[in-house]
Chains A and B, each alone.
Chain A
């Protein structure tokens, strides 16, 4: 791949004939990707602006929220100035954004660099989130396919009911149920996650319960999408033709239906990523998982704008990357003309 890309930037048509089709094929795709990236970045910037604005409207500010009971109004004012909170929010936003390209996420209300505060929790959340995403998509594909292979049958109906129920369950209900069964009653799994000197979970089995608590509602959601996407495909002429040809059902599923269903599944995966982050705040608290959810909850009560924005920036970047991938998959399959 590296080959065609390098001449692409310097391509003037004088390169070797076999390379000619390369740039021609890649450029529109690259341009499209660049546009998609720009759009995602723009949305992220808007989101961050909204974060600054939202914290501004909340009552109180970081200087006051992190003050001690004995501090006088004058002391709080001094701290307010030290934190730069006496400047207009637009100015603070501009300053904060200007540090972003260099990876500088500012300083928290407690005087720590935001990147330091996030350096332990963010990888942990990324680990838990990506495992949960992988589990939910695998589980959804398996359940969705199983149901599709028996349309209208008992399995199909059971999967439909179970997936709806799973999605309707809030994470904390799932968490409490898991805790009761696997920790309190059976003692098979640890109830909370403890961390070692490196800030990561001390053992793998501590990941299981938070992982399940996060993944189960998303398996429900994605199974509905997968099943729906397959159902749409089932009516298409080429699938009908394959059925009439008497091809094996699992082959029809993987070779005739899956490609068409993939864009919908990709989008639902990306949506799941967003919901996983939301669920993480609850699940991390219940299982004491050392992730970004706990940081976010605390940062909000402290009105710690740079820290909240930092959390949004890193999670937003991760989710944007996923959304971008989903967009590219859609483009690839449906073409750029939608």
Chain B
């Protein structure tokens, strides 16, 4: 069954994984050099070919850097060949990539991005602001463009000089550079659609060949970002995580990327296999509708949050590969409010809150879920069992992925959702919680929250901003429509010789230029 579920994640392509892309993430996570003790004594060396397995469906292969990337294999290949303006970072949410620096105007509406010194395409031509502007406009022109670059109209993407790109936001946005970590892949200006597939990129690797989702990439010695260690990377597309794990165990590949907890359990008995956990990788909260219906009363939502046994959820639904959540989305963010006390199970208080709210415990409530990703449906079933202890009867309804995204998501009173990567606090606030947000999963409208959000993104002063973000998280903790019981780890498996794989959550894992082979 695991096969099917994981497949469906990529099947849900447009919806599921694209959400993951849109949520391209970062966090304070692991620092780059804390690999295991054996590796620590070794100096990074260059050379060798890294064979990476990545999930994808043969039917959904895409070559367009701005297309709908449902396949992780495609995204991996694209991000090795092309560069985004910024990338997920470990100390800050956003680290420079093709854009070396950025600077906002006083009012936080106008942002100037400077292209990295020495950045050039694989054919040797330097990257100009015109190339970037053209690429961003092309990205903005895709069907999901408005959500990929929210608040930025196409005509407000301009070149100031050869090396400076100017983005003007419709509103003050202190977090605008965050948006440029997504699929802002830069291509040469005026590349025709039918030439996109083989067009030169600016990335650390050059495409040698591509066939049906498989590819071989070779080192770009002239990369502006520094020395690339591997000679080459071979990407192999895998339909199922099981097959990918088998390939790794059999030595046919060196890395099984994002292979999941089931494979990790299999590999635990094998000494020579490294199990790499990328914390804060995926959120799969339960959504309680706040606008109307049985969960509109904040006391009922609080009761459900108090009824969940978080440790048990992490242990069983995630096989232990995860951490307990505190109902605030964006756990990997440096500004995440760690000082808000962890909500614990309190059945007595939960029952009391239900009674105060006059909650009808004679009825049975549907909790709708899908099998899009491993552990999601399990988490729903487990929660239903736990909720029985406060006399809330929950009936788990599993829906076909397509029906779920069409009929349930954004609409049902109680359902599970997931965000493929765990992004910043402000990302989730803007996408899913501000009153006017397009993907307001719980239909939440909370004036104090909106106010805190506006204060946060409009604050030029870091201290003021941090304060506003903290306030925003307090409100989210107290009243939002989310029950975030835990965060799933991202799990990669790697052979013994692989060193310095990226440890950031989400698409932080695609930056392989620092990875090397000790053999």
Contacts and interface: CB of A to CB of B under 8 A. Distances in A.
Interface of A: 58-60, 64-72, 75-76, 78-79, 108, 110-112, 117, 120-121, 179, 183-184, 187, 190-192, 194-199, 284-288, 290, 294-299, 301-304, 307
B146 A192 contact: no
B143 A286 contact: no
Closest 7 CB pairs of A and B: A70-B147, A298-B59, A60-B402, A68-B18, A298-B57, A301-B11, A69-B19
A309 to B, nearest CB: 13
Contact of B146 (A70, A76, A187, A304): A70
A301 B14 contact: no
A67 B143 contact: yes
A136 to B, nearest CB: 23
B181 to A, nearest CB: 15
15 contacts: A59-B406, A64-B14, A65-B14, A65-B15, A68-B15, A112-B61, A190-B247, A191-B249, A192-B252, A194-B236, A199-B211, A288-B236, A294-B59, A297-B57, A301-B401
A16 B146 CA distance: 78
Interface string B421-436: 0000000000000000
Given A59-B402, A192-B250, A76 B240 contact: no
Contacts of A60: 402-403, 405-406
Nearest to B71: A298
B13 to A, nearest CB: 6
Contacts of B58: 117, 121, 290, 294-295, 298
Interface in B133-159: 143-144, 146-148
B348 to A, nearest CB: 39
Contacts of A79: 143
B62 interface: yes
B300 interface: no
A288 B14 contact: no
Contact of B57 (A69, A72, A294, A303): A294
Interface string B191-214: 000000000000000000101101
Contacts of A58: 402
Interface in B428-470: 438-439
Given A195-B212, A285-B239, A286-B243, A110 B67 contact: yes
Contacts of A304: 59
B420 to A, nearest CB: 9
Contacts of A64: 14, 402, 405-406
Given A187-B250, A296-B59, 18 more contacts: A66-B60, A68-B19, A68-B68, A110-B67, A111-B64, A184-B249, A191-B250, A194-B252, A198-B211, A284-B239, A285-B243, A286-B240, A288-B236, A290-B58, A295-B59, A297-B7, A298-B57, A302-B11
Given A68-B68, A70-B22, A70-B439, A183 B13 contact: no
A78 B146 CA distance: 14
Contacts of A112: 61
Contacts of A66: 13-14, 60, 68, 70
A70 B250 contact: no
Given A76-B143, A288-B247, A304-B59, A69 B439 contact: yes
B250 A299 contact: no
A70 B69 CA distance: 13
B147 A71 contact: yes
Contact of A290 (B68, B144, B212, B401): B212
Given A60-B403, A68-B18, A195 B211 contact: yes
A33 to B, nearest CB: 36
Contact of A183 (B67, B146, B250): B250
A285 B3 contact: yes
Interface residues on B, range: 35 or more
B143 A71 contact: yes
Given A190-B250, A285-B239, A298-B58, A70 B148 contact: yes
A68 B143 contact: yes
Contacts of A301: 7-8, 11-12, 57, 401-402
Contact of B144 (A67, A183, A285, A297): A67
A72 B405 contact: no
Contacts of A198: 211
Contacts of A284: 239
B179 to A, nearest CB: 12
A290 to B, nearest CB: 6
Residue of B8, B15, B64, B249 contacting most chain A CB atoms (<10 Å):
B15
B68 A192 contact: no
A71 B14 contact: yes
Interface in B1-60: 3, 7-8, 10-16, 18-19, 21-22, 57-60
Interface in B227-286: 236, 238-240, 242-244, 246-247, 249-250, 252-253
B60 A199 contact: no
B117 interface: no
B250 A195 contact: no
Given A59-B403, A108-B59, A191 B252 contact: yes
B59 A299 contact: yes
Contact of B22 (A68, A111, A184): A68
Residue of B16, B57, B212 contacting most chain A CB atoms (<10 Å):
B212
A298 B239 CA distance: 9
Interface string B382-426: 000000000000000000111101100000000000000000000
B216 interface: yes
A75 B247 CA distance: 39
Contacts of B13: 65-66, 302
Contact of A67 (B68, B403, B438): B68
A194 B52 CA distance: 11
B401 to A, nearest CB: 7
Contacts of B21: 68
Interface in B59-100: 59-62, 64, 67-68, 70
B243 A120 contact: no
A68 B147 contact: yes
Residue of A78, A287, A294 contacting most chain B CB atoms (<10 Å):
A294
Given A72-B146, A287-B243, A110 B61 contact: yes
A24 B7 CA distance: 58
B14 A68 contact: yes
Nearest to B236: A194
Contact of B246 (A192, A199, A299, A307): A192
Nearest to A67: B14
A110 B68 CA distance: 8
A307 B403 contact: no
A117 B402 contact: no
Contacts of A72: 146-147, 438
A223 B156 CA distance: 71
Contacts of A71: 14, 143-144, 147
Nearest to A194: B236
B400 A59 contact: yes
Contact of A285 (B67, B240, B252): B240
A191 B238 CA distance: 12
A195 B249 contact: no
A179 to B, nearest CB: 6
B212 A199 contact: yes
Given A68-B15, A294-B58, A191 B246 contact: yes
